[in-house]
Structure 1
Amino acid sequence: MNLSAVAIALLASAGIWPAPAHASGCGLGAPGTTSRVAIQGTGRTMLIHVPREFRGKAPLVFLLHGSTGKGSDILADSKLADTADRHGFLLAAPDGGIAAGQGFVWNIPGVPTVTGKVPGPSDPDDVAYLRAAIDDLATRGCADRARVYATGLSGGGRMTSWLGCVAADRFAAIAPVVGLRAGNPSSRDPNFPDSASCVPSRPMPVIAFAGGKDTTNPVEGGGAPYWHYPMRVAEARWADLNGCRKRLAESADPRGYTDCRARADVLAHIDPQAGHSWVADNEAVWAFFARHRR
């Protein structure tokens, strides 16, 4: 049934039809639009896209930009707002807390950014910022705390992985794109993650995407100090953390691990011809997210 805006407003005033979010005090602007929203208690803002059929208390997906990028960049590049409109989830695209060039980088403690600098205690705490955003949007009645997810590109993919490690109490699933990690590279042997740096409080479902021709974050490892260990090592570490019992064939698409605790599968799609770009299948990302809640 297709109703006009006038008809919906009349039904809403009579208590027959749910009022659109901007009319109900959610404060995110009209459905189908993207607005910059202040996050209470942080002094920071983020871009939030409200889906066309938004009625409040929707799933919330954080979309994290790559290093030296901005939220507006990844919104344009990923086309994920179109997916949000089709499936009815809120899409939040924040900026990282550390200024770098014309954009920002994310604060992953103990790991150098692309500038070579290791974030220090005076740098903004991006995990605290995203936690505050969840609290703010849930308190407003906009977001469902049980259905909060994260995805991101490159440095944003590494930040997404970090959220899985340290904020599993807030996120129901993660989808790193050309950026899957499972903790910081070990100082003793950077070909493996430091197990002490990633100890999630609960099993974390993971779906990851990568390009076989990526020379920035190579699937086979190497590269910059923040990268180093191979992607398959990250997959295996998440499988261990999630108590997975079945390994899929290396040649499978996706490859990875299933039969995990709390249905927290670890899946990886590798496009052999792709490079360092948004290689995610947005419909597959949302289908995976939709199967999980915290």
Structure 2
Amino acid sequence: MKRRPVLVTLSVLLAGGAAVAVTLPASAAATGALTGLAGKCVDVAAGGTANGTKVQLWTCNNSAQQRVSVADDRTIRVLGKCLDVTGGVNADGTKVQLWDCFGNANQQWVYNSATKDIVNPATGRCLDAAGQSSADGTPLQIWTCNSQTNQDWVLPGGGGPVTPSPSASGAACNRTVQPGERTMPVSFAGKQYQVAVYVPAGAQPGTRLPLVMNLHGSGGTGSGQLQYSNMKPTADANQFLIVAPSGAIPNASGFAWNVPGVGTAPAGARDDIGFLEQVLTTATSTLCAAPTRVYGAGYSGGGRMTSAFACARPDRLAAIAPVGGLRAGRPNPQNTAQPDPASCNPARPVPVIAFHGQQDTTNPYPGGGSEYWQYSVPVAQARWAAINRCTTGPTTAPVTTHVTRTNYLGCANGADVVLYSISDGGHTWPGTPVSNGNGNTTQEINANTLMWQFFQRFQLPA
């Protein structure tokens, strides 16, 4: 069995002076042939540059379509585009294609000079020549790492010793919080709050992990949201952290969030934008969260708060997933059927995946309802598509008997906007086994699984 040493990132300089990146041996050349099984080269089919072009093995011929660059942002580039795991799908056999470079998780690659494999960290799978074939035209895919020769690669320059350098995920850390559900003290505005957190089973103390901030609905608590959303098994399976803070405005048996621009907060109410920012800052140090892989999710009022936080601090969340609460700013006072564009105008595109039941009577899918709600869920999605400068959509397709998916694609920085609509769904979290008494909870899809598949495609700029 191959021994797996520590992997590191080394900056290199490409032709034209652009600083780019990959995790690679210190002595490797930056640009040239990337060779695999039987000495064949990684090759772009027919030298095409369209998004989705096949990446394959081919007899080496020193053509431009075989001149590969490994980069300091952990991308692998050829013909000005990136090797990309199609759709970010975490499954054996998912094809590797050529796509515009966004640096998202499905375009990240880590090379190990001892094992000679190239791993996509988001999926944990290896770059693989399909079917262990070395024939010209053999497509490249991802597959469970298995130490077979069709997963052996030699970088441009032939490889060499591994040289340590800082991790792209942030400075070294040592997580002292043990796996399981815990609390984390957070100091803000002269007060200390105990925030519910979850560290996945098997988490290594010195490894920075992605983080999902999971916000409760009005009347709930952070610990209650951990139970209701049932996100912990997904965190265990995919090795991400969860922080679940609580609001501070008393509401029923729990708390509500101070969502900017809607309703009337009590005098002296906590600034929850500032508070949540402090939660994320504390989690980066205390929980060893990877600062570029932080995501936001939330239910109902927590979905509204997640939306508002993304509007105000798009530099802190790589993507968001509101459940039963997607908003894009407050209702426009002049026309409440539309959002007020001035109340949500983030400086960078924010990828969005949302879930909403069409039988929701709390935050009605077609709009109306409470003063804070008013405009419809599709209108909220369309506004995010405009913010993200999407060029195609909306396109809607069935997913299951009662679920459809509406996509806006071709967005700036790859920041797609996706909505799952559940025709028989209530004000509920899809896939959770916990009933909240707010209508039907679909089991046809699992929001946690789908949002994580979406999240792992994105990361913040380093």
TM-score (norm 1): 0.86
* Paired position in structure 2 for 1:10: none
2:200 to 42, 51, 66: 51
Offset, 1:140: 3.6
1:199 to 325, 345, 361: 345
Offset, 1:120: 5.1
- Structure 1 pair 264–35 and aligned structure 2 pair: CA distance change class (3 A): same
Letter matched to residue 198 of structure 2: H
Structure 2 unaligned residues grouped into runs of 5+: 2-172, 399-403, 431-445
| 1:287 and 2:453 are equivalent in the alignment | yes
> How many Å separate the matches in 2 of 1:120 and 1:236?
32
> What's the C-alpha RMSD, in Å, of the aligned pairs?
1.6
Letter matched to residue 203 of structure 2: F
| 1:98 and 2:249 are equivalent in the alignment | yes
* Paired position in structure 2 for 1:65: 216
Letter matched to residue 254 of structure 2: G
> How many Å separate the matches in 2 of 1:39 and 1:60?
16
* Paired position in structure 2 for 1:214: 360
Q: Greater RCO between the two (CA within 8 Å, min separation 6)? A: 1
> How many Å separate the matches in 2 of 1:84 and 1:141?
14
Assess if the C-alpha contact under 8 Å between 1:222 and 1:228 holds in 2. yes
Q: Write out per-residue CA displacement over residues 80-104 of structure 1, whole angstroms, 9 at most, x where no aligned residue.
A: 0110011000011110121222200
| 1:230 and 2:376 are equivalent in the alignment | yes
Assess if the C-alpha contact under 8 Å between 1:191 and 1:229 holds in 2. yes
* Identical amino acids, percent of aligned pairs: 42
* Paired position in structure 1 for 2:181: 34
Structure 1 unaligned residues grouped into runs of 5+: 2-23, 113-117
> How many Å separate the matches in 2 of 1:25 and 1:260?
37
Offset, 1:248: 3.7
* Paired position in structure 2 for 1:123: 269
**Superposed counterparts of 1:243-258, under 5 Å:** 243-252=389-398, 253-258=404-409
| Equivalent position SS for 1:43 | strand
Letter matched to residue 367 of structure 2: G
| Equivalent position SS for 1:254 | strand
Letter matched to residue 262 of structure 1: N
Assess if the C-alpha contact under 8 Å between 1:110 and 1:119 holds in 2. no
> How many Å separate the matches in 1 of 2:284 and 2:183?
17
> How many Å separate the matches in 2 of 1:151 and 1:140?
20
* Paired position in structure 2 for 1:17: none
1:180 to 326, 329, 332: 326
1:110 to 261, 268, 271: 261
* Paired position in structure 1 for 2:65: none
> How many Å separate the matches in 2 of 1:141 and 1:108?
26
Letter matched to residue 336 of structure 2: P
Letter matched to residue 203 of structure 1: P
Aligned positions, number: 265
More strand by share: 2
More helix by share: 1
Q: Where in structure 1 do 4 or more consecutive aligned residues deviate above 4 Å?
A: none
TM-score (norm 2): 0.56
Assess if the C-alpha contact under 8 Å between 1:167 and 1:200 holds in 2. yes
* Paired position in structure 2 for 1:83: 234
Assess if the C-alpha contact under 8 Å between 2:368 and 2:375 holds in 1. yes
